[in-house]
Structure 1
């Protein structure tokens, strides 16, 4: 009997509590209810896509915007400047001036082979013969081989391309090939260049 009364008290208490929660939540339709750790919802930093609040004294001098133009002669953190434009002249200048800064080690060559296989071989083929699986499936034509007497669309033979010309092409892309600058870091690009130059030696 005592246990039964105790169960009734617990059940009644639960029903009263649940009813109070439901009625409290329904009181204001615009309310999101109780919030835990409010500072996780409100950003501390200004949102660069929103106009400046007039209440923020610090941002009043920013002329109505939070996203600012960087100061002159500065570069973003991790940005590596590339001085050769995406032109025929830039391509030739890069070919004449750029030299692979990486040491030709087995480790760098293996890394270059890996990146080449992932990013380049679908079109250029794993042997650099221009017979990648996308060429066979999609019947894409005009993918040059890195060895033999294949000619570059910019003049000369593919097997004679310098490190700078290969790097420039990876940086900007050429013809149907898009830029790989966003997929490969400068260091990774040079490793691919190193591997491509190994493929150029195949007879």
Structure 2
């Protein structure tokens, strides 16, 4: 009789153990967020932000990582102040720096200003742009060239997105060298 009870108990435990097991969905989830991700509908409202509709604004006075502050505004007065007061933080350039500056000038500037800085670049010769000045005819400084590269002037657009601050100072030094030649 004891043997029948043992067999019945073993059968009952086997039935209980197998009835709770489901291969499609485990009973115990160690990290439930890994199994069932929270999905959001595209462009729908979310309570992840304060107002539920749009992202939060950055803190007042914060700047982007890698952004270098330029103190002169994009105005005529800012141009005049940069022309009079702004100096290159680089100092004296080595031959390698001047070669890099020449390469950058030929890529970004020579198409309009010409390789000699005479205002006779390829686009001017093809009459796509007119009135591009020669550097020899202008009263310019490194600060004024850097300001114009940063903000643009007249038909020339800003090159702040194409050239880093250091590269713009290199090109400004190269322009002053071309003016002196």
| Cα distance, 1:194–1:43 mapped onto 2, change above 3 Å | farther
Highest CA radius of gyration, 1 or 2?
Answer: 2
121, 126, 130: which one aligns with 1:132: 121
> Any conservation in 1 of the 2:46–2:53 contact (CA below 8 Å)?
no
Matches within 5 A, 1:20-39: none
Return structure 1 stretches of 4+ with deviation > 3 angstroms.
49-52
Measure, in 1, the Cα distance between the counterparts of 2:46 and 2:53.
9
Q: TM-score, normalised by structure 1?
A: 0.65
Q: What is the root-mean-square deviation of aligned Cα atoms in Å?
A: 2.4
Unaligned 5+ segments in structure 2 are 1-33
Q: TM-score, normalised by structure 2?
A: 0.72
| Counterpart secondary structure, 2:126 | helix
Unaligned 5+ segments in structure 1 are 1-38, 151-157
Alpha-carbon offset, residue 53 of structure 1: 2.2
The answer as to 2:102 corresponding to 1:109 is no
64, 83, 97: which one aligns with 2:85: 97
Measure, in 1, the Cα distance between the counterparts of 2:120 and 2:131.
10
Alpha-carbon offset, residue 66 of structure 1: 4.6
Deviations 1:39-59 (A, max 9, x none): 9xx899x89x945424xxxx2
> Any conservation in 2 of the 1:50–1:66 contact (CA below 8 Å)?
no
138, 150, 153: which one aligns with 1:174: 153
Aligned pairs, number: 145
